[in-house]
Each structure stands twice: as C-alpha cells, then as structure tokens.
Amino acid sequence: MVSIGAIYPSKTKPTVTPQGTDKLRRYVEMSTKPVIAIGGIDRNNLPDVLSTGVCAVAAVRALLEGDVKKNCEAFINVIDTIKKMG
C-alpha cells in the first residue's frame, strides 16, 4: 500500500502542500499498489476522495475532534450513501 497526502489543507500536516483530488486520481491510476488518501479529509470532501479510486482514507482530525461517535457515524453514513448509489 501507498499513502498519498495531504489531499487537502491539514492541521496535522501544516507544512505539506495539498495535492488535491485531481493529482490523487492520477496517482491511483499510475500506482501498482493500493492507495490510501490522508490529510484534511472530512465527511464533506469524503465522496470526492473516494471517487478517485483509493482503497482507504485516513482521517484523524475529522474523526477525533469533538464527538468521536457522531463523527464516525457521519463517515459511515457518507460511505453507506455512496455504496447505495453504486
């Protein structure tokens, strides 16, 4: 597996230049390994990140800042919605 990031501006990676989803998509297409996206990912931009074909995301702040249970449920709801859409 290969991790790529930060995808968006990130409090946990403030010195890293965000790559954005266009570059992420290209990395996924070029990689012979599964790609994990990390950095600045939250429930609002999660659909865009997942649409690039990544195998997984790492989202520290979006899950751990505030109410962890609600944050995790929100991520699960987004993922479930995407799965239903096909």
Give backbone dihedrals phi and psi of 37, rounded to 5 degrees, phi first. Answer: -95, 140
51 DSSP assignment: T
Q: How far is CA 32 from CA 27, 49, 51, 80, in A?
A: 10, 19, 18, 27
Cis peptide, bond prior to residue 6, ω within 30 of zero: yes
Give me the long-range contacts of 77-82 (CB less than 8 A, separation at least 24): 77/43, 78/43, 78/46, 78/47, 79/46, 79/50, 82/47, 82/50
Each residue's pLDDT tens digit, 36-69: 999 999 999 999 999 999 999 999 999 999 999 9
Report which residue type is found at 81.
T
**CATH superfamily placement of domain 2-85:** Aldolase class I (3.20.20.70)
Q: How confident is the model at residue 14 (pLDDT cuts 50, 70, 90)?
A: confident
Domains of the chain by residue range: 2-85
> What pLDDT shows up at residue 86?
73
Question: d(Cα 5, Cα 16) in Å, to the nearest integer?
Answer: 8
> What pLDDT shows up at residue 29?
98
